[in-house]
Amino acid sequence: MTESNITINVQLDDDKVPQEISWSASGSSASSSQKAKAMCVAFWDAADKSAMRIDLWTKDMMIDEMADFYYQLFTTMGDTFQRATNDSDLSNDIKSFAKEFHKKFVEKEKAK
């Protein structure tokens, strides 16, 4: 059995707000840590039947970047759900929601 380690580093300012997020993985082809402006990590606790999450973003993450990030998260959640369950209907519902979410965001931004 092979083991892989993922390391996440978060630099905080004096108010404990993330300044910088970087990550690396032991099996990655990247030669150095990768920078990120936001992250969402979720773990399933089978005993409690609940999701445990870590959601962080840096203060320089722009609102339009956050909307794009969530659009992509929702879309890939649909892909993951499809692979895990082989349920195309629900997978497509998730992806449809993602498209509608992003469309509404763009419309709100244009209206400003």
Q: What is the pTM of this model?
A: 0.88
Give residue 30's pLDDT. 78
Classify the phi-psi angles of 21: left when phi > 0, otherwise alpha if psi is within -120 to 50, otherwise beta: beta
**Is residue 46 domain-shared with residue 70, that is, in the same domain?**
no
Residue 94 token pair = 């998730």
**Is residue 76 domain-shared with residue 90, that is, in the same domain?**
yes
What is the Cα–Cα distance from 92 to 79, expressed in whole angstroms? Answer: 9
**Is residue 73 domain-shared with residue 92, that is, in the same domain?**
yes
Classify the phi-psi angles of 111: left when phi > 0, otherwise alpha if psi is within -120 to 50, otherwise beta: alpha
- Residue in the block written with tokens 């992509």: 72
Alpha-carbon separation of residue 29 from 34, 38, 105 (angstroms)? 11, 21, 35
Please count the CA atoms within 13 angstroms of the CA of 81 that sit on its side-chain side: 15
**Is residue 55 domain-shared with residue 67, that is, in the same domain?**
no
List, run by run, the mean pLDDT of 10-residue segments along the chain (112 residues).
93 96 89 94 97 96 97 98 98 98 97 90
Give residue 2's pLDDT. 87
**Is residue 72 domain-shared with residue 52, that is, in the same domain?**
no
Identify the domain containing residue 76 by its residue range.
Answer: 62-112
**Is residue 1 domain-shared with residue 55, that is, in the same domain?**
yes
**Is residue 91 domain-shared with residue 47, that is, in the same domain?**
no
Give residue 93's pLDDT. 98
**Is residue 45 domain-shared with residue 68, that is, in the same domain?**
no
Count of the separate structural domains present in the chain: 2
Give residue 31's pLDDT. 79
Give residue 27's pLDDT. 81
Give residue 56's pLDDT. 97
Q: Helices 63-85 and 88-111, interaxial angle, to 10°?
A: 170
**Is residue 55 domain-shared with residue 66, that is, in the same domain?**
no
